[in-house]
Copies of this chain bind each other. A is one copy, B any other.
Amino acid sequence: MKLRYNSFNYNTYANRGMTLEHDIEMANEYYRYNNIGVIYKKPTPITIAKVHYPSRSEAVIKEAYFKTPSTTDYNGIYRGKYIDFEAKETKNKTLFPLNNIHKHQIKHLKSILNHGGIGFLIIRFSTLNKTYLLPAERLLEFIENNDRKSIPLDFFEKNSYLIKDKYNPRVDYLEILDKLYFDGGKDERKN
C-alpha cells in the first residue's frame, strides 16, 4: 500500500503527521507481509457532498469535507488480540498537548480496554527524535488525576516505552506489546 496523496496542496496539509504515519504504514506492511499481525490505518473519514459520474466506474467526488474521527486511526489483530491505537507527532520538546487527541478517541480507547482489547498511543517527539508507546491505561490514569492540558515529557519517560529505531521495520511497536502483554520477545510471535 502506497500513500496516495497526489496533490502538492494535500501533502502540505498532511505534512505534520507524515513521517510517523509513514513509519507506521511501513511497519504494518511488514507485519502483514511476514504474517505477524494484520493492522491497518482506517481511511480518512469524510462527508461526501457532491459526486459526478460520467460512468459508474468513473465516479469523481467534487465536494467533500474532512470529518472529526469517532475512533482511533489504527486497529487490527495481533497474536489473537484486538489492538487499537492512535499515533501523533509533536514538535514540542517538553510536553505533548492533549488537544491532539479528541475526547471521543479517549472514550473509545477506554471502551476497548473494557472489552478486553489492547489500546495505546504512539507519540513521537519529532524534535527530540523519540517515539514512545503509551498504554491506554496510563493515559486514562493521567487524565483522571490531572487537570493539565498536556502530558509532560517526563511522564512519558516514566510511564511509556521508548520504541528504538530499527532498520526494518523502523518503528517496531509490536515488539513493545510482546514485552507488555505477551510475556516474551520476538521468538514467541505467531507466524
**Residues of chain A whose beta carbon lies under 8 Å from any beta carbon of chain B:** 1, 4-7, 9-10, 13, 32, 35, 37-38, 40, 42-53, 56, 59-67, 70-71, 75-82, 84, 108, 111-112, 114-117, 190
A116-B38 Cα distance, complex, nearest whole Å? 11
The reply to whether A51 and B115 form a contact with Cβ atoms under 8 Å apart is no
The reply to whether A62 and B63 form a contact with Cβ atoms under 8 Å apart is yes
Residue among A13, A47, A61, A111 with max Cβ neighbours from chain B (10 Å)? A61
In order of increasing CB-CB distance, the 8 nearest A-B pairs are A80-B116, A61-B64, A82-B82, A43-B45, A77-B82, A43-B43, A77-B115, A77-B117
Known: A35-B114, A64-B64, A111-B38. A59 touches B13 (CB 8 A): yes
**Chain B contacts of A7 at CB under 8 A?**
48-51
The reply to whether B115 and A38 form a contact with Cβ atoms under 8 Å apart is yes
A77-B118 Cα distance, complex, nearest whole Å? 10
Within the complex, the shortest CB–CB distance from A186 to chain B, in Å, comes to: 16
The reply to whether B40 and A71 form a contact with Cβ atoms under 8 Å apart is yes
